[in-house]
Amino acid sequence: MPTKEYDARIDTKKRVTIRGARFDHYHVQEFLDGRIVLEPRELVVPFELSALTMAVMDSSMQNLDEGKVSEPLDLTAFSNE
């Protein structure tokens, strides 16, 4: 059962107003039959790597450049073929 129901129309700039919207951002799905589904989205700060993680990655890349690597792993057991 919907908590709110009303009719809306598109304005001259092809916009629809959402009354009392609780979110600032929505994901929009538009279907061939004319239905439009809005799902709320929360924008978050992108995941950041710590200084220690960056140092480990730099060290790993240096080892790769110097040829300090292990033998290739056999991953055929995980293959779907």
Confirm whether 75 is domain-assigned. no
Confirm whether 77 is domain-assigned. no
pTM: 0.48
Region 59-73: mean pLDDT is 93
Confirm whether 80 is domain-assigned. no
Task: Using DSSP, state whether 25 is helix, strand or coil.
Answer: strand
Confirm whether 48 is domain-assigned. yes
Confirm whether 37 is domain-assigned. yes
pLDDT 10s digits, 3-62: 888 999 999 999 999 999 989 999 999 999 989 899 999 887 777 888 999 999 999 999
Confirm whether 62 is domain-assigned. yes
Query: How many domains is the chain partitioned into structurally?
Result: 1
Confirm whether 49 is domain-assigned. yes
d(CA 58, CA 65): 11
Confirm whether 73 is domain-assigned. no
Range of the domain at 45: 1-66
What is the model's pLDDT at position 46?
72
63 confidence band (pLDDT: 50, 70, 90): very high
Task: Using DSSP, state whether 55 is helix, strand or coil.
Answer: helix
